[in-house]
Amino acid sequence: MPQVQTSSSFSIPISTTTSQLRVLHLAGSRVSKFYYNLSIMYAREVVQPVGVKSHYAVVDPDGFWQLGASLDDLSEKMSLQEMICQLPTLDVVVPHMFCFLGMTSFRSLFEDVIGLPIVGSSSHCTALAANKSQSRSVVSASGVRVAEAQQFRQGDTLTMKPPFIVKPNSEDNSLGVTLVRNEDQIAEALRVGFEYDRTLLIEDYIPGRELRVAVVERNGELYVPSTIEYFMSEEKPIRTAGDKLEFLPDGSLLQNRNTASRRACPANVSPELFGKLARAAKQAHVALGCRDYSLYDFRIHSETSEPYLIEAGLFWSFGRISVISLLLEVDGQTLEDVAFKLWSSAAARTRVACGSMFKYAQTHQLN
């Protein structure tokens, strides 16, 4: 059986002949209990396709790891070194981590260092997408429309005029996000934003509809399924963390149970608008260097009807509560089949040394 050699004294066997696809679900968070609970919430919902043998590796904010055949049957806590040495034979890793380290460093550890293929984008791609200021510059250069914005740090001179959105530059889940309607609200919005990041993105508020658009790679092409729309109101024109998640007394999380009543899936969009959204999402997918799938938030300007890309989200936990899953199923696709094909495709990738990096050759076709 082939061995993936690492820089340490251990090696991780990768199965190439077994009849079952051996999948490691990577969950938890090294950063905070919030991100730990968010990860576990999604990891519990992952589909289990026929032909897959699942394993779980979970990291706690205290830095210790647990392994097991399910989230309800995990081992005693162990160090990172012990966890790596006790990993079973594996084919591919499906990440369910949402903190910055989980989206970047741990993907790099498993794919670049240990040598296990990761489903989804590489660590350097997810790091770019997590930086809102940098990612919007990249997609804008490829022709995707974005709102006017200013990167802002303590001591900078604010040049933007309300209404605008204040966002922590590298945070997710709408944490620290504030809509500023007038100048009296600026100081408090900046204070809240700086609680989450030393760099903020001050972005023009785009009035209008909010939609999410996914891109999924299949058969060497980029496929855009139906879109989803979140209904806004004059009182609440943007989505906040409380609109997405319910915080339970024990610290665990649930998807907000009212979310389904405030959205339309599929969204009611004209063929012309869908074409614009699909084209922009595909361009962003390629420009950012995404792999396997990607997800984008768009605002449709109420006056011009033009779509503006707000941000990218390179995560998908392959559970039925995940947005990309909803979009595929509403199009009549079977989530288990899609997941198995994507996971198998990732497991079959062969990395090659290219200059100073490992790379995977892939061809994207924009239709």
- Band of residue 188 on the pLDDT scale cut at 50, 70, 90: very high
Structure tokens, 156 = 């900078």
pLDDT digits (tens, 9 = 90+) for 107-123: 999 999 999 999 999 99
Looking at residue 175, its pLDDT comes to: 86
CA nearest 93: which of 176, 4, 173? Answer: 4
Residues of the chain with CATH 3.30.1490.20: 148-204
What is the per-residue DSSP string for 28-54? E-SS-HHHHHHHHHHHTTB---TTEEE
Angle (deg, nearest 10), helices 123-130 and 132-141: 100
Q: What is the pLDDT of residues 306-333, one digit of tens each?
A: 999 999 999 999 999 899 999 999 999 9
Q: Answer yes or no: are the C-beta atoms of 55 and 22 closer than 8 Å.
A: yes
Q: Is the pLDDT of residue 199 over 50?
A: yes
CATH code of the region 135-143+208-240+248-345:
3.30.470.20
For the chain, where do the domains classified as CATH 3.30.470.20 start and end? 135-143+208-240+248-345
pTM value is 0.88
| Confidence category of residue 256, pLDDT binned at 50, 70, 90 | low
What's the pLDDT at 133?
95
Domain with CATH 3.40.50.20 in the chain: 3-118
What is the fold, at CATH topology level, of the domain defined by 3-118?
Rossmann fold (3.40.50)
Q: Which CATH superfamily is domain 148-204 in?
A: ATP-grasp fold, A domain (3.30.1490.20)
Name the percent of the chain lying above pLDDT 70: 87
